[in-house]
Structure 1
């Protein structure tokens, strides 16, 4: 069975990077969104093939959650950092 939540998480992360680029012209947002979205998508693909193979998904979501959680604590703004950090709580590996 396909890891639907994993692919949705990956798409959300990638879309967030693209939105950051289109709204603010932020190339780092675009690069991070595509990188982490791609890694999350690859992890979801691996989990689809073997449900026990969660290492890439877990590592990607922990790193992204940590980075965005740090940004949220520094800025106090929920969007986008708080949202991405809290997605890790919703999407449990």
Structure 2
């Protein structure tokens, strides 16, 4: 059983992004969303750690973040944070699909 360090790192980055959004802009929505999706992604990484084929939760959170942050990036054209999170989430989706193969 190997630990899903990439998944846990992604979860920490998402949660940290929400905290930074709150600190810089005072956005409670960013804080709540970042912590929520960070926790969901962390739980997904925990599930992948115990069963490498159990990617449903991780895939769900990465998919939602790809769509939401991708739409924000398209609208705002700002790379930080929307473009980076959308890109990282897309990479996570590809990685999780690869784990299923």
- Same fold at TM > 0.5: yes
Aligned partner of residue 3 in structure 2, secondary structure: coil
Aligned residues: 93
- TM-score, with normalisation over the residues of structure 2? 0.90
What residue ranges of structure 1 are gaps of 5+ in the alignment? none
Partner of 1:85: 86
RMSD of equivalent CA atoms: 0.6
Q: Does 1:26 align with 2:33?
A: no
Q: Distance in 1 between matches of 2:55 and 2:24?
A: 33
Aligned partner of residue 82 in structure 2, secondary structure: helix
- TM-score, with normalisation over the residues of structure 1? 0.98
Q: Distance in 2 between matches of 1:90 and 1:66?
A: 13
